[in-house]
Chain A
Amino acid sequence: MYHDLFERVIGDAPPSTVDIEVLVCGQRRAARRRIAGTVAAVVATTGLLTAGALTVGRPAPGGHTPLFGVPVASATAPGVSVTPPPTPGQTTYPPFVGPPVTEPSPAARQRLEAAMRHAVLAVAPAAAFRTGNGASGFDMRHVDQPIAGTPPGNIPSFTYSGTTVVRVGIRQGDLSILVARAGPFREGCGGVPGVATCEPVTGPRGETGFLLSQVLASDHREAQYHLWLDRAGVDAGTITVDLMVDAPAGGQPDPPLTADQLVHIAEDPALTLYP
């Protein structure tokens, strides 16, 4: 009955600033960040996704392969030995290879956030960061709690993770860096759906790991690059670097960081739980 009166109070509406496509893309990214953050934290600390427990020993041949460079013929990377996955409930513990982390959490968050920015800027000086709250930097989280389903002995998950939207020029992607305590587990490419490439990686200090690229959508418009680096022999930690990229309309994913840059970020000695 009063609708017309209300409409006259509203008057002529200015053009909307709500962009549905931007909103949908933002929600997609947020959903992926939530999923990737949760999965990566669990993977990095418990090895639950070691469908094919992987031992990486082969040095990377002459630098690193471009992202999406080498298709994998099977779910297992070449040049690796595969051992059966541990029987559930019979995994050998203690879970961590290093001493307990004594640095207070607030100090560690601050230090690692600065280290993450520094590590990225060292390989991409023009990089800009934006968190979900609009801040310039990384959104830091800390997980330090027992994982349900693990044997008695208080097997904790211990990870610091930083997430941000990184932009280099016109390219941008969702970047997550996880710094976790190293355990007896190994990640692998086996069992991971949508893997396009999987390459072993060896760092200058003996770090070992792998770099995989993954297509997340059937139309190839979303891609994820996942680098896992075991630094157990260096500083009792593991580093995981995830980069998720949306393709522009009619294009293919164009990541803001190269594979080499992701590896250099993971090798940054400042990304450690033992400063």
Chain B
Amino acid sequence: MLRADEDEYRQFVVARLEPLRRMAFLLCRNWHTADDLVSITFGKLYRRWGRARDMENLDAYVRAILTHAWLDERRRPWRREDATDPVPESVAPGGEPPDVAMLRRLLAAVPPRQRAVIVLRFYCDLSVAQTADILGISEGAVKSQAARGLEALRQATAQPVEE
């Protein structure tokens, strides 16, 4: 990669580091793994920078790399986690607000791909079509997988929501 391209790449990833870490944390719920996923994402982006830099929606592309990196990692035997594990209780003094606790429980309880749908749809504010495109599934599948998350979010915030 040319120095100028590398500088451009460096500027991009420095600006996206924290937002991507936070997205990765929502997916994996572990800061160490989140950092690993972001590193994998940036490494892949480096190798594809020549083509990626001119993409119309580079941020969506990077989110897609991150999401697939996490789904790939989840397939590794030593990374597998049981989605039915009991949810750890908060140890924060005085507990945490009910809406935060509810969302935390939701993220812990759903399987990986559904968790990805929830994060992409409701944290990254992507459309159904964009979410479906990133995950390589139909829009109908996105809607059905987001339904439970949507219901939980409605209960948590007690606000009417348009899908």
Contact = CB atoms under 8 A, between A and B. Distances in A.
A9 B107 contact: yes
A5 B154 CA distance: 11
Interface in B1-53: 1, 3, 6, 9-10, 13-14, 17-18, 21-22, 25-26, 31-32, 35, 38-39, 42-43, 46-47
Interface string B145-163: 0000000010011010100
A13 B22 CA distance: 8
A18 B103 contact: no
A13 B25 contact: yes
B39 A23 contact: yes
A218 B30 CA distance: 41
Contacts of A13: 18, 21-22, 25, 31
Given A16-B17, A23-B46, A6 B39 contact: no
A24 B26 contact: no
Given A5-B156, A9-B107, A27-B43, A20 B26 contact: no
Contact of B153 (A5, A8, A23): A5
Given A18-B42, A20-B13, A6 B122 contact: yes
Contact of A5 (B3, B17, B43, B157): B157
A275 interface: no
Contact of A31 (B1, B17, B100, B119): B1
Contacts of A18: 17, 21, 35, 38-39, 42
A14 interface: yes
Contacts of A7: 22
Contact of B43 (A3, A23, A219): A23
Contacts of B43: 23, 26-27
A9 B100 contact: yes
A219 B2 CA distance: 12
B26 A9 contact: yes
B161 A8 contact: no
Interface in B101-127: 103-104, 107, 119, 122-123, 125
Contacts of B46: 23-24, 27
Contacts of A26: 43
A244 to B, nearest CB: 16
A20 B10 contact: yes
Interface of A: 1-3, 5-10, 13-14, 16-18, 20, 23-24, 26-28, 31, 219
Given A6-B26, A10-B22, 15 more contacts: A1-B125, A2-B122, A2-B123, A8-B97, A13-B21, A13-B22, A16-B17, A16-B21, A17-B32, A18-B38, A20-B10, A20-B14, A23-B13, A27-B47, A31-B1
7 contacts: A1-B125, A1-B159, A5-B103, A7-B22, A23-B42, A26-B43, A31-B1
